Amino acid sequence: MLLKNGWHRAVHRNPSLARTGLVARTSLAATQRHWAVNGRYASVQAGENKTGHINAGANEGILFFNNVFPLKIQKLLGIPFTSKDHTPRFLNYIISPSITGTDPTKIIENASTKANISIQATNTLLRLKEGGAFVKFTHDGSTPDSELEKVLKQYLKENPVKPWWSPFRKMQVNLVKGRPWVEDMFRLPTSRIKVEFIPSEPGEEAVELSQEQLYAFFRPYGKLADIKMQPPDSKVLPKSASLDFARMQKAIMARNCMHGYLVTEAEGGGKKGTVLRLTYEQKIKPHWIRDWLVNHPRIVIPIIAALVATITVAVFDPIRTWFVKAHITRSLHIQDNAVYQWIKGYATDIIRWNRKDDDDSGMEAIWDDRKGNIEQIQTWLMETADTFIIVQGPRGSGKRELVVDQALKDKKDKVIIDCKPIQEARGDSATINAAAAQVGYRPVFSWMNSISGMVDMAAQGATGVKTGFSETVDSQLSKIWNNTTTALRQIALENRHKQDKDAHLGDDEWLEAHPERRPVVIIDNFLHKSQEGGMVYEKIADWAARLTTANIAHVVFLTNDVSYSKSLSKALPDRVFRQIGLSDCSPEVAKKFVINHLDADVDDDPPLKDGSPKELPSQTRTDLGELDTCIDLLGGRLTDLEFLARRIKTGETPTKAVNEIIDQSASEILKMYLFGSNDDGSARKWNSEQAWLLIKQLAANDTLRYNEIILSDTYKSGGEAVLHALEQAELISVVSGPNGRPASIKAGKPVYHSAFKRLTEDHVLKSKLDLAILTDLTKVENATIEKCENELLLLSKLKSQPAQMMPRIQYLLAKLAASQEKVERYEGEGKVLKKVLGEEY
């Protein structure tokens, strides 16, 4: 702001001031309008007449005041509804110097009055981005500029000015010694100043000042943190140095007061003098964060991996746990919603469409026969016992229906984990997705496993060490089971309330005291293809052991494998399992099941219009007397009995239906065990001769001795592994004897026994496979003969044959003769078989 008596002198010296609005008005109101931070003063950001400089003549000087405006006021430039060159008008009432008390002209007026000196402000240039203002002043010449500066500093020291935005930092003033460059470019001030040494005249040579000289020039403006000189061997011109001030406000004051200062020869500036050109310099070089991250992979990559893991645990784990809980409690299943159930029941009363599923028809007979097993499982679930419940039985014996549909039909909180899709999944991502789908674990980023693996390999190549960024299938499965554990525990504790008589107990003690509150985990198809999925089953068994020992949930295993105890004993080595073995139905129950299955559809039909009673197939059909014989051939496997009932419903007689089932089973045996290959194209672990030997002998006998088969010549090579593979493929079933050892061999399904007989009745097939067995046995005996001959030839080459060698020679000769006799017998039998193959189709 200008003083009233300074206005005329300023206009007289520079008439353009009246046009550009660089000077203030005389009245107080005009002064306040002049100082308003508005568009009229955007132009003065570029110096006098937008030249970028301020010129001072005789008896004139320039002062720089800081802390006139907030230092970060430039960030408000360009906000909505304002111009990029103008500040918002509402700031007039917030940071106007006439309001905040930071008016430099007012300070000059008060100081001159108090010190009785002649100094008058003639021009003011605002520096919004630097938070200060230049003030041009005049004086009578009787007092040096340095003395005027001391007077103003003393006045501000005795009368500190602290604006509201900076209550701890006082307003300061310094005399401008150089020729300030007043630019309005968007260059923000920093605490580092770059000092360039420029010659005073073109063609002259500038002198590079030393650190001591620079310190002497710039230390009065504030504490210096460091002075960095340009390297002596640098070819960059002009020469320069960097000054780091402790505070940015001090750097702003030094830059505005010393820019363009001429260092004379006396001050060490050379013969013609050296001009100091000052610019703000960024302390942080561009892209330093990116460069640091790229240049330190051994530190950055593990940190990124840790951050990703932390974010995953903090953000996604609660979401996944919620989805698992919703899957177990079925809160997202509309079929279990009370409103949906009411609407469905109301609609069913109008439109009768609730027919029974054919698969459930006739199951009452089975459940009546297995009522004891159902009650036993329900009793175990009410007891506190940290062990497994195991239901073992052949495939198709109704294990899952027994447990889920009968024993747990009134249990709301249960989760079924089917191991079959997990085991049969191909690839790591498919395995993770299959496991997550069983428990409702989502979101699943299984595709990230492959990408993170490649990133980990690249990082290992760059750093030489593993970063742990990628995760194995083992760790991913552990995450899924751990989240499921958390969800199960929360579900078990949801029923706890403050009025409970056991409210004083801890969570673990409460769970132990209330086994009926625990959810149930059913693990179906456990040890399905156990020879391929050791890791999956081991993880599931260990996880189930943690659930039971921590009293979080009851665990029920459903398995077809009779050797399940070997796998589960590793997870719970000091526990006795609770076991239920399911076998095929008895003939009486099987017959009742088929008859109930036939009558189920008639029971669901609407009553006849004439009111006569419905005619049931069991009462009207005359061919059902054949069921006794048919069930003896078919056996008591539930899946086969359902297939029989469906075929009888279509109008076939029981005898014809059973024959069709047996023929179909015989065709499956030919394709799966004798002539075909595995479904996935992999090599089978048995050959056709080994499978046919079992088929032929089981067709003649219901049961075979396990060790007798192992000792046969056909099973000399890897006999036990072959039998285990055939058991997994369900051609046979191995029955355990005392102490759990394998004792006997039976057909994999009851219908297979009849199918075996059907296959042996085919003379051409029997001759072909028997001939293959004879050929294989002949090879074995010929190998024995060759071995004996080679050893006898070696013994015959000895010069002397002591008497001790005679027993060995006699042994070899007898063995050779026995093998020769077998070869001749095999060839004789083979001729008969070849004759059959040559004469019959």
- Coil/strand/helix, residue 10: helix
Q: Give the mean model confidence (pLDDT) for residues 517-530.
A: 89
Radius of gyration of the chain (CA): 50
Per-residue pLDDT reduced to its tens digit, 158-178: 888 888 877 778 889 999 999
Gap between the Cα atoms of 719 and 710, Å rounded: 5
Contact (CB, 8 A) for 445 and 456: no
d(CA 546, CA 580) in angstroms, rounded, equals: 22
pLDDT score of 31: 37
In three-state secondary structure terms, 243 is: strand
Average pLDDT over residues 792-801: 86
pLDDT at 676: 67
As a whole number, mean pLDDT of residues 235-254 equals 93
> Of 72-81, 529-538, 629-638, which gets the smallest average pLDDT?
72-81
- What band does 42 get if pLDDT is binned at 50, 70 and 90? very low
**Residue 49 confidence (pLDDT) above 80:** no
In contact, 565 and 577? CB cutoff 8 Å = yes
Q: Which amino acid is at 47?
A: G
Cα four-point dihedral sign 477, 482, 487, 492: positive
DSSP lists the bridge partners of residue 278 as 195
Q: How many helices (H) and strands (E) does the chain have?
A: 33, 17
Residue 359 scores a pLDDT above 60? no
Q: How far is CA 123 from CA 3, 101, 632, in A?
A: 10, 18, 119
Q: pLDDT at position 162, please?
A: 84
119-127 and 173-175 beta bridge pairing? unpaired
Compute the 3-state secondary structure of the chain and give helix, strand, coil in percent, each to the nearest 5: 55, 10, 35
Reference 483, options 306, 331, 323, 332; nearest CA is 323
Query: Using an 8 Å Cβ cutoff, are 221 and 174 in contact?
Result: yes
Q: Count the neighbouring beta carbons within 10 Å of the beta carbon of residue 520.
A: 23
Q: Give me the helices (H) in 572-621, please.
A: 587-604, 617-620
* Predicted pLDDT at 5: 36
Flag the least confident range among 66-75, 390-399, 537-546.
66-75
In whole angstroms, what is the distance from residue 308 CA to residue 315 CA? 10
CA angle 655, 657, 660 (to 5 degrees): 110
- Give how far Cα 745 sits from Cα of 685, 742, 749, Å: 18, 8, 12
DSSP 8-state symbol, 283: S
pLDDT of residue 395: 84
For residue 57, name the pLDDT band (cuts at 50, 70, 90): confident
- At residue 103, the pLDDT reads 84
What are the residues whose beta carbons fall under 8 Å from the beta carbon of 680, sequence distance 6 or more? none
**Closest among 148, 174, 139 to 56, alpha carbons compared:** 139
pLDDT-based confidence at residue 76 (cuts at 50, 70, 90)? low
Average per-residue pLDDT for the chain = 82
% pLDDT > 70, the chain: 81
Measuring CA to CA, how many Å separate 122 from each of 2, 39, 45, 98, 498? 6, 21, 17, 17, 81
Query: In whole angstroms, what is the distance from residue 110 CA to residue 155 CA?
Result: 9
Instruction: Name every residue whose Cβ is closer than 8 Å to that of residue 402 and which is 6 or more positions away in sequence.
Output: 367, 370, 373, 374, 377, 391, 582
Q: Are strands 732-736 and 742-747 parallel, antiparallel or unpaired?
A: antiparallel
Strand order in the sheet with 274-280: 224-229, 240-245, 192-199, 274-280, 261-263
Q: Is the pLDDT of residue 386 over 50?
A: yes
Helix (H) or strand (E) holding 241: strand 240-245
Higher pLDDT, 571 or 603: 571
Q: Phi/psi zone of residue 468: left (φ > 0), alpha (ψ -120 to 50 degrees), beta?
A: left
Return the half-sphere exposure (C-beta side, CA atoms, 13 A cut-off) of residue 672. Answer: 17
Confidence at residue 471, expressed as pLDDT on a 0 to 100 scale = 66
Residue 378: which pLDDT band, with cuts at 50, 70 and 90? very high
The yes-or-no verdict on residue 456 having pLDDT over 70 is no
Structure tokens at 81: 């509804």
Least confident of 276-280, 369-373, 560-564: 560-564
Say whether pTM exceeds 0.75: no
DSSP string, 656-724: HHHHHHHHHHHHHHIIIIII---TTSPPPSS-HHHHHHHHHHHHH-S-EEHHHHHHSGGGTTTHHHHHH
Question: CA dihedral defined by 787, 792, 798, 799, rounded to 10 degrees?
Answer: -170
Task: Annotate 73-125 with DSSP letters as a single string.
Answer: GGGGTT-TTS-SSS--GGGGGTT-HHHHT--HHHHHHHHHHHHT--EEEEEEE
Burial of residue 126 (number of CB atoms within 10 Å: 0-12, 13-18, 19+): buried
Phi, psi of 590 (to 5 degrees): -65, -40
Categorize the per-residue pLDDT at 451 as very low, low, confident or very high, splitting at 50, 70 and 90: low
Lowest mean pLDDT among 77-81, 559-563, 657-661: 77-81
Question: Is pLDDT above 90 for 761?
Answer: yes
Q: Check residue 677 and give its pLDDT.
A: 65
Inter-residue contact 178 to 261 (CB < 8 Å) = yes
Q: Which pairs with CB-CB distance under 8 Å and at least 24 residues apart come from 397-402? A: 397/582, 397/583, 397/584, 397/637, 397/638, 398/363, 398/366, 398/370, 398/582, 398/638, 399/524, 399/558, 399/582, 400/522, 400/524, 400/558, 401/363, 402/367, 402/370, 402/373, 402/374, 402/377, 402/582
Q: How far is it, in rounded angstroms, from Cα 55 to Cα 16?
A: 14
DSSP type of residue 607: P
pLDDT for the residue 618 = 75
Which tokens in the block code for residue 207?
A: 């002198």
Please, are residues 200 and 272 in contact by the beta-carbon 8 Å criterion? yes
Residue 352 scores a pLDDT above 60: no
Residue that the structure tokens 């090579």 belong to: 717
Residues 6+ apart with CB under 8 A from 214: 195, 227, 241, 243
Predicted pLDDT of residue 354 = 46
Which of 372, 396, 395 has the alpha carbon at shortest distance from 593? 396
Which residue in 651, 695, 655 sits closest to 675, CA to CA?
695
Task: Please classify residue 571 by burial: count the beta carbons closer than 10 Å to its beta carbon, then call 0-12 exposed, 13-18 middle and 19+ buried.
Answer: buried
